[in-house]
Structure 1
Amino acid sequence: MTFQVPLVDITPYVAGGTAAAQAEVARRIDDACRTVGFIQITGHGIPDAITHGLTDAMDAFFALDLEAKKAYRTPPKINRGYSPPKSESLSLSLGVEQASRMNDFFEAFNVGASAASYPHMAELPQPDYADNVWPTVDGFQEQVEAYFTEAGRVARVMTRIFADALGLDPEFFASRTDHSLDVLRMNNYALPPGTDVTLDGDLIGMGEHTDYGIVTILWADQVKGLQVLGADGSWNDVAPADDALLINLGDVTARWTNERWMSTLHRVKPPVIDGTIERRRSAAFFHDGNVDALIQTLPSCVDAEHPDLYEPVTVGEHIAAKLAGSRAGVRNDSAARESARVLASQRY
């Protein structure tokens, strides 16, 4: 059977549709979350001008000299700023050691929701809600903030659909995301001058991993590189359709649903053409939930045939263990189920 990521038009939720139209969208989302864990959506409503502004900002920043970009690097515990090539290992976020540890060659720039983003909250813990580091690149902050706002809107539309698909109170996710740990990660897959990555030895764009939170909203170039693990254990190339965003579930949702819905393993391996990596860009908006929200399996997802697979944990505790793996090189030993899937996938 050919691997395929379902394409769903979410216009009935974005522009206001009939109850029947929304129910059909929720049904299709439920089916995709059960079987694939990745979805393509159209009808999301992000204006082209906002997306073009984001890509212009990314191009301007990543074109800077490597040393200039490193000036915006932050300590591993602060999920903001610049990440140079080979400073991370996503597989370690799942407790899996690669042959060379910090070996993912992509470079990235992260911005996120700060404490100031949620004025209704008296006090939020640091560095979870750290201030952003903004490069001195014309228009960068304004263009990135505009896209961040739009991606956040789409993420909240998706969780509203999730509530309907799971038969939950419409405000179930909203009550757990009113001060969500939201991060936009802008990725550049290329080999910048001055790096020590070799094409024949340690080339890994982004290692096998699952996303950490509730849902990820991914804009990406239509360039090969993203690969998604199929139910049969095979890796499959995925590229977005015209005007589509890729949506995938994170570990928080898999835990809430007792794996009724899938947090699907994926990786990035951009093609090498004539000895050069074909450049690929992406921007992933991670909607992770409130730092103090408790992830506890939904009662509707537990029965005699499906015993509860997870102990309760807060979003903050879960994210901290993941980031310690990917950014600080500390193997995440609490991800036994996920690491087993990574090891099984490495046969392919």
Structure 2
Amino acid sequence: MAQYTQVELLTLHGPVFRRVSTAPPRPATDDEIPIIDLSTIDGDFEARKNIASKIKSAAENIGFFYIKNHGIENELIERALESAQAFFGQTNEQKGQAHDRYRGVGSTQINKKETKDRKETFFVPYNAAYDPTVANPATTSHDEKYLHSGNDSFWEGTDHIPAFKKTTIEFWQHRLTLARKMIRIFALALDMPENYFDEVITRPGADGLYIHYPGLPEIVPVDTETDVGIGSHTDIQCITLLWQDMSGGLQVLSANDEWLDARPIPGTLVVNIGDFLQRLSNNRFKSTVHRVYNRQSTSRYSMPFFLGFNPDSVCQVVPSCIDDEHPALYEPITCGKWHRDRMALAQGKLSWQESDYKSS
């Protein structure tokens, strides 16, 4: 007989509990986490509608899918990976020179009921100076948090790594371009004009990370509970684009309460829905619980890209997701406030009892 436990997720509405099978993670089938071909994303409208219908199905069922033929050259991905490896291969003292862009192993704990996260990260936020669509970055209205990566001081501690800044910015730019194309497809998937979200992605929250999960001293059996690489959680913003190496370790919680292995597939990125897009879709699209374990003796590297909307743009539930039987479940809010409050909650600077979301 199947046995279950539960995971606790701390949200701005209060604790949420999910039932979880105690069985070991199993491989996901192609139907559960589908592979979607983007080779026609720059084609005609009907081609984009066809992609949107496939993404809509995945977004409503599990909130995770792979994309192939996404337009980011493997050569650039390999250069970005080499940059990440060079950065994380430094001493702790050298990495610490990156100040607030670097977080060391065990410095975060995304799920307070699980272990500290066994990972280290390097972080690059949105910057208008690097945005290919911005003609005059000085006109941006973002607060300083979204501007400081344009300063040379932002890259302190990395200038001795060959081409680190150049490659990191180039990879960030290509992922931003892809994410904007994806958001237009998501608009179609929500039965809206494809330019519906255009005005709220002009200066978006767009955070690129390098992540290193150190290997364990010895290989650990798959059914052994070890320190999590990153604990059970849902992503905060709209969508995540993830490149992962071939180590494995990403696990997705299915609608049937099973952990599924989101296995690495060469040439693909993993895409998943974040909480803010679930909110805007009136819960039609699923922001799914996931986690990472690295039970190998070797390092695991991943490079996620988190896209949110303009921090100062007020967003509301999409009209196509509302009718007499499905009234809007959420009040309008800026993506910036949503992101700041979620980060404050994660860092213990805000309790859900103090939040403005209890009646949402």
- The two structures have a TM-score, normalised by structure 1, of 0.83
Secondary structure of the structure 2 residue equivalent to 1:180? coil
- State the alpha-carbon separation in 2 of the partners of residues 62 and 296 from structure 1: 40
Displacement after TM superposition at 1:39 (Å):
1.1
Counterpart residue identity of residue 125, structure 1: D
Alpha carbons of structure 1 residues 87 and 145: separation in structure 2 relative to 1, 3 Å: same
Report the residue type matching 2:109 in the other structure: S
Using the alignment, how far apart are the partners of 2:320 and 2:248 within structure 1?
38
TM superposition shift of 1:287: 1.1
Q: 1:286 aligns with which of 299, 306, 316?
A: 306
Residue in 2 aligned with 1:197? none
Aligned position for 1:341: none
Question: In the alignment, what sits opposite 1:8?
Answer: 36
Query: 1:10 touches 1:42 (CA, 8 Å); kept in 2?
Result: yes
Q: Which residue of 2 aligns with 1:110?
A: 123
3-state SS of paired residue (1:34): helix
The question of 1:66 aligning with 2:92 is answered yes
What is the aligned counterpart of 2:289 among 246, 255, 265? 265
SS of the residue 2:205 aligns to: strand
Secondary structure in 2 matching 1:223 = coil
Correspondence 1:316 to 2:336:
yes
CA distance in 2, matches of 1:192, 1:82: 21
For residue 130 of structure 1, report the CA deviation from its aligned partner: 2.8
Distance 2:187 2:278 in 1: 14
Distance between the aligned counterparts of 1:249 and 1:32, measured in 2? 10
Aligned to 2:170: 146
Quickly say closer, same or farther: Cα 1:271–1:175, change in 2 above 3 A: same
Aligned to 2:60: 34
Residue-pair matches, total = 311
CA distance in 2, matches of 1:252, 1:330: 20
Task: Please give the secondary structure, in 1, of the residue aligned with 2:308.
Answer: strand
After TM superposition, give the deviation of residue 125 of structure 1 in Å: 1.0
1:45 maps to 2:64: no
Separation (CA, whole Å) in 1 of partners of 2:148 and 2:236:
18
Query: Gaps spanning 5+ residues in structure 1: where?
Result: 75-80, 92-96, 194-199, 338-348
Question: In the alignment, is residue 124 of structure 1 matched against residue 142 of structure 2?
Answer: yes
**Does 2:267 match 1:243?**
yes
Once the 2 structures are TM-superposed, how far is the Cα of residue 123 of structure 1 from its aligned partner? 3.2
1:305 corresponding residue in structure 2: 325
Find the aligned partners of 1:234 and 1:331 in 2 and give their Cα distance: 31
Residue type matched to 2:167 in 1? Q
Tell me if the contact between 1:90 and 1:104 (Cα under 8 Å) persists in the aligned partners.
yes
Instruction: Summarize deviations over 1:318-345 as a string: whole Å, max 9, x none.
Output: 110122234x3335525989xxxxxxxx
Deviations 1:103-157 (A, max 9, x none): 1110000012225345353432122433262212111111111111111111011
SS at match of 2:328: coil
- Give the corresponding residue for 1:346: none
Q: Paired residue for 2:182?
A: 158
Amino acid at match of 1:127: K
- Contact between 2:248 and 2:264, CA under 8 Å: does it hold in 1? no
Q: Is the alpha carbon distance of 1:115 and 1:41 closer, same or farther for their aligned partners in structure 2, counting shifts above 3 Å?
A: closer
Q: TM-score, normalised by structure 2?
A: 0.80
Identity, in percent, stands at 30
Q: Secondary structure at the match of 1:168?
A: coil
Conserved? CA contact 1:90–1:325, under 8 Å: no
Structure 2 unaligned residues grouped into runs of 5+: 1-25, 218-223
Match of 1:22 in 2: 48
Conserved in 1, the CA contact under 8 Å of 2:55 and 2:189? Answer: yes
Paired residue type of 2:117:
D
AA partner of residue 140 (structure 1):
F
Verify the 8 A CA contact 2:128 2:140 in the aligned structure 1: no
The AA in structure 2 aligned to 1:257 is S
Matched residue, 1:234: 258
By how many angstroms is 1:23 displaced? 2.1
SS of residue paired to 2:144:
coil
Moved more, 310-319 or 116-125: 116-125
What pairs up with 1:182-261 in 2 under 5 angstroms? Answer: 182-190=206-214, 203-261=227-285
Alignment partners' CA distance in 1, 2:77 and 2:341: 32
Q: Which amino acid aligns with 2:349?
A: V
Please give the alpha-carbon distance, in whole angstroms, between the structure 2 residues aligned to 1:99 and 1:332: 18
Once residues 279 and 335 of structure 1 are traced to their aligned partners in structure 2, the CA distance between those partners, rounded to angstroms, is 40
